[in-house]
Structures are given as C-alpha cells and as structure tokens.
Amino acid sequence: MATHPITTEHDAGTAPVACALSSADLAAQTSRWEQLAARAMTERTETADGLRLCFQAEPGVEDELHTLAGVETQCCPWATWTVRGTAREVVLEVHSTGAGIATLHSMFTEVEPTRAPH
C-alpha cells in the first residue's frame, strides 16, 4: 500500500520495485488498508528487511488482511507478503531486498496503530 505509484531502480535479476495498480485501484486499496488499520492495527515496526504490521484478532481481520496481502503480492511482486494469525493477533510480515527494503519502510507511514495490544 502506498499513496502513489512507486518505481525505483532494482537489483539485477529481481523484479523492479514498482506498484502495478492503476490510480483507481491504488485509491481503493489504500482506503481498505486505512479502514483495517483504524479498526484493528496495534503495531507498525520497520525490520531489517521490511515491515511487520500487527492487528487484533477480531472477526474478519485475518480474512481482510489475506485479501489485501493478495492484492499486494500481485501488484508488488518484489516483496514477500506473509500473514499469520494466532488467537490474539494477526501479523503481516513483508520482506524484500535492496531498494525494496527502503520502499517498504516508506509504506504505511500515514497509518498509526489505533489499538493497544492485549
């Protein structure tokens, strides 16, 4: 998720770091991310190779996160999007290499965790 298409140089042999969504699809995806974050996000952490986003394990959160991550996997194949859930939380781990890491660190900066973790 980003607020604008992202294109950067890429390492040889990897997919270009670019968002393939149209402006309309990007706006819709951004809105869905914002809604989910406002509803259930508890943490945003930059990692050495990407991001970790944590959400409360409320009804529908894991399904929505899988749907959103599925779109991201298609439009941003330069990153690996993994969702895992427990009884208490749902975690999205996003990993990349090279320029993809800096791009991931620039994503989701406009959303703030709105819920305290249990």
DSSP at 27: H
Enumerate residues 6+ apart whose C-beta is below 8 A from 4.
26
Confidence of residue 8 (pLDDT cuts 50, 70, 90): very low
Residue 25 within any structural domain of the chain: yes
**In the chain, pLDDT over 70 holds for what percent of residues?**
84
* Domain residue limits at 90: 16-105
Number of domains into which the chain is organized:
1
Mean pLDDT to the nearest integer, 15-32 = 88
6: in domain = no
Q: What pLDDT is attached to residue 40?
A: 95
Bridge partners of residue 40, in order along the sequence:
none
For 45-89, write each residue's pLDDT tens digit: 999 999 999 999 999 999 999 999 999 999 989 999 999 999 999
